[in-house]
Amino acid sequence: MIPLRSALSDYLTMRRALGYKLQRTEKLLLQFIDHVEAAGANSITTDLALSWASLPVGGDRSWWSGRLAVARKFAAFVNTLDPDTEVPPTDLLPGGKSRRAVPFLYSDADIAVLLNAAKIFPSPLRVLTCQTWIQLLAVTGMRVGEAIRLDRQDVDLEAGVITVWMSKFGKSRELPLHPSTVEALRDYLRERDRMFPNPPSPSLFISSAGTRLLYCNVSWDFIRLARRAGLKARSKECRPRIHDLRHTFAVRTIIDAYRTDANVGVRLSLLSAYLGHVHPGNTYWYLSAAPELLSLAGRRLERSLRERP
């Protein structure tokens, strides 16, 4: 028998060394350990894992399945140190077939109505900040977490470069910016400094209180704006999501390569690095749901076949 909290610390340290961040996992596993201790147990059992995973009562089965998967991985780790630890079977609480969301690709008009919808916020600083991060995500394809983690010093307006530090899988990268993006950021900082001269946070994007933006608040703001802008779901799996600004950037980048008759393979490799993907293969998903892109690819293929001897 080993102390579960000590084992959790070792487990998180090991997995974070591999590049995982695990904030949500840590929160869930602390709750799981509380559940085990409240039951008066000293080790993990399948029954305890199942009873914890099945909370709240009446919850969605896929939610229960995800919770059990988190507990199972931890139990498997603890089992290597304490053979008395039970590892829940993989066929317990199956979550059903997983369906990946279909990207909601935004048009220029969609972006425009989102920016206009931001005027609903009472604080001028909040309006300005919201409009700026929406535009930055749209023209760089950055992850939301990357954008709100940016400090002011990470933006070099003279060189026209943003540095993203230690993002997914511990990767850092530099993002060259279009001159119009540089000017937009310069305008934002000028107005931001006028409205809030000495914010307590070094963050690039700040709240009305001068603090760093929170992911949950940014996500909720985007949902509100999408509703206000009248953006409707195109199907059950295709709804307006903040992450789809990243999908839209990727699709537009490759469409531009086809329209300008550029080397798509080279553009795809550059796009993969720009997005911070580990491998170009991870970028293909971003390009799988755009009829215009598939049509352009088909035309190029037909032309290539016609020109072949």
Give me the active site residues, please: 143, 168, 243, 246, 277, 286
CA distance 135 to 128: 11
Q: Domain check: are 249 and 223 in the same one?
A: no
Q: Domain check: are 56 and 120 in the same one?
A: no
Q: Domain check: are 131 and 216 in the same one?
A: yes
Run of H or E residues at 161: strand 161-164
**Residues making up the chain, counted from first to last:** 309
Q: Domain check: are 117 and 173 in the same one?
A: yes
| pLDDT tens digits, 257-273 | 888 888 887 888 888 88
Does 103 fall in a domain?
A: no
Domain count, the chain: 3
What SS3 state is found at 284? helix
Average of per-residue pLDDT across 33-37: 95
Tell me: pLDDT of 96 over 60.
no
CA distance 279 to 292: 24
Tell me: pLDDT of 286 over 80.
no
Domain of residue 132, CATH code: 1.10.443.10
pLDDT at site 296: 67
| pLDDT tens digits, 204-230 | 999 999 999 999 999 999 999 999 999
Does 86 fall in a domain?
A: no
Buried b (16+ CB within 10 A) or exposed e, 46-69: bebbbebbbeeeeeeeeebbebbe
| pLDDT tens digits, 21-30 | 788 999 999 9
Q: How confident is the model at residue 299 (pLDDT cuts 50, 70, 90)?
A: confident
Per DSSP, 1 falls in state -
Does 236 fall in a domain?
A: no
Which of 64, 79, 94 is the C-terminal boundary of a domain? 79
CA distance 80 to 11: 11
For residue 205, report the phi and psi dihedrals to the nearest 5 degrees: -100, 125
Which of 194, 228, 262 is the C-terminal boundary of a domain? 228
Q: Domain check: are 194 and 290 in the same one?
A: no
Q: Domain check: are 114 and 204 in the same one?
A: yes
Q: Domain check: are 221 and 112 in the same one?
A: yes
Domain span including residue 295: 244-307
Count of Cβ atoms closer than 10 Å to residue 284 Cβ: 13
Q: Domain check: are 156 and 122 in the same one?
A: yes
Q: Domain check: are 156 and 219 in the same one?
A: yes
Q: Is pTM, for the whole model, over 0.75?
A: no
Name the residue with higher pLDDT: 195 or 300: 195
Which of 79, 98, 130 is the C-terminal boundary of a domain? 79
CA distance 282 to 137: 19
| pLDDT tens digits, 42-72 | 899 999 999 999 998 887 888 899 999 999 9
Does 25 fall in a domain?
A: yes
DSSP bridge pairs for 203: 151
What SS3 state is found at 176? strand
Does 144 fall in a domain?
A: yes
DSSP of 225-277, one letter per residue?
A: HHHHTTPPPSBTTB---TTHHHHHHHHHHHHHHHHTT--HHHHHHHHHHHHT-
Where do the H-state alpha helices sit in the chain?
4-16, 23-38, 46-53, 61-79, 108-117, 124-140, 144-149, 179-195, 215-228, 244-259, 264-275, 291-307
Count of Cβ atoms closer than 10 Å to residue 226 Cβ: 22
Q: Domain check: are 195 and 125 in the same one?
A: yes
Q: Domain check: are 145 and 219 in the same one?
A: yes
Q: Is 264 left (phi over 0), alpha (psi -120 to 50) or beta?
A: alpha
Say which amino acid occupies 223.
I
pLDDT at site 283: 73
